[in-house]
Chain A
Amino acid sequence: MIPAAFDYKRAGSAEEALSLLGEYGDDAKLLAGGHSLIPLMKYRLASPAVLIDIGKVSDLSYVNDAGDHLAIGALTRHRDIEINELIGSQMPLLAAATRNVGDPQVRHRGTIGGAVAHGDPASDIPAAMLALRATMVIAGPSGEREVAADDFFSGFLETDLGDTEMLKEIRIAKVPDATYSFQKFNRRAQDWAIVGAAILVNNGSSGVGLVNMDSKPIRAAAVEAALNSGANAADAAAQAAEGVEPPADLNATVDYRQHLARVLTRRGLEEAGR
């Protein structure tokens, strides 16, 4: 399968990427790891006229200790997140979610920024972003702005990112004392989740993000509220399908997804010691 023809531009820096985006606007797409965009282009579900390759902007690949939070560069590859010691000690939920992405080859190429910017409700990473209350740092022609994960994911493969903006950094508050679990139900190794749950149990501020349970990445707000008011695992997990609208597809009906969300949330809460 060969994608439609396009013009290839390589950006050497974030500034260069932004100026190319300014030049080509919505004819252009940023290319990070390419592991969501290239498959779409091969199936001809996307055919951008211009690709701006940011894959080699290496100064956007980092995990920095920034006091109360970690700052993660958008171009940090999944593999580098998976084995990063700061992430392992300060927010192991993100490492666990990342280990569930595809297979080693996919994790060598795909980036956290690409997974977030793609806004796929079936992806594991946005669920972890929601559970961890991540903040997205977006750069555009008129400077930088910050958006909470809750406001960032706006629809199916839609985010708050504008045509001339790029995701630069992700900031996540450290939660070294929280317990966590990442639950993913699929049928074959390496597959995407039929349903998944990213669970962070933290005194008074628990977070639960769901995979593939709505048209956009979404939090299980009812479960969080129950947890924060002291409910046990079974009672909190019973709320997992409240207020969300899961899709039906070849893999699962709506009812089955609702059932999976409750079961996986309960398992996750139990694993997290709730």
Chain B
Amino acid sequence: MQVSINVNGSSQAHDVEARTLLVHYLRESCGLTGTNVGCDSSSCGACTIHLNGEAVKSCTVFAAQADGDEVTTIEGLADGDTLHPMQQAFHECHALQCGYCTPGMVMAAVSLLDEEPNADEATVREGLEGNLCRCTGYHNIVKAVLSQSGGGQ
């Protein structure tokens, strides 16, 4: 079937099987490999993207469900060579080690602060409960997100 999605501001149309998951549509049809697959079972958050502005796990959405929608992936956050403030904060706070969880973590964090611009530490920790990181112990991730929150200073 034909699935049309606006991805990072550009219209994409691809012929895919109905059972194609959104994450595979993004990685394979659109060639955007920034979004990772971790658990493939809605638990780890590595595949988090924004669907119509909200963080969702793209391993648990069919591309067909997003037909006509807007998707933002990690590739769509930066403005040219200028990192998105959340990406910059992850960089400065050393909020990544291997980097596997990072695209999903950043997308979840941006969505969280859209909804809770003044999130405090507890809100940030709870708001990121759907994202697992096996390297950092979360401390620096939380620090990075708090540095962008009105409630974190």
Task: Please tell me if A199 contacts chain B, counting CB pairs below 8 Å.
Answer: no
Number of residues of chain A lying within 8 A (CB) of chain B: 28
User: Which of A10, A39, A104 makes the CB contact (< 8 A) with B41?
Assistant: A39
- Tell whether, in the assembled complex, residue B56 and residue A8 are in contact, meaning their CB atoms are under 8 Å apart: no
Q: Which residues of B contact A1 (CB under 8 A)?
A: 40-41
Within 8 A of B (CB), among A162-200: 189-190
User: Which of A8, A104, A106 makes the CB contact (< 8 A) with B1?
Assistant: A8
Task: Please tell me if B61 contacts chain A, counting CB pairs below 8 Å.
Answer: yes
- Tell whether, in the assembled complex, residue A5 and residue B65 are in contact, meaning their CB atoms are under 8 Å apart: no
Q: Which residues of B contact A42 (CB under 8 A)?
A: 40-41
Number of residues of chain B lying within 8 A (CB) of chain A: 31
Q: With the chains together, A106 CA to B64 CA distance in Å?
A: 18
Q: With the chains together, A31 CA to B51 CA distance in Å?
A: 17
Q: With the chains together, A35 CA to B21 CA distance in Å?
A: 13
- Tell whether, in the assembled complex, residue A39 and residue B42 are in contact, meaning their CB atoms are under 8 Å apart: yes
Among B18, B45, B112, B127, the one with the most A-chain Cβ atoms within 10 Å of its Cβ is: B18
User: Which of B45, B60, B129 makes the CB contact (< 8 A) with A39?
Assistant: B60
A to B CB contacts below 8 Å, 24 in the list: A2-B19, A4-B19, A5-B17, A6-B19, A10-B64, A34-B62, A35-B42, A39-B41, A55-B65, A102-B130, A103-B130, A104-B108, A104-B112, A104-B115, A104-B127, A104-B129, A105-B130, A106-B130, A108-B56, A109-B57, A109-B61, A189-B129, A190-B129, A190-B130
Q: Which residues of B contact A (CB under 8 A)?
A: 1, 17-19, 21, 40-43, 45, 48, 51, 54-57, 60-62, 64-65, 67, 108, 111-112, 115, 126-127, 129-131
> What 5 A-B pairs are tightest by C-beta distance, nearest first?
A103-B130, A8-B18, A189-B129, A108-B54, A190-B129
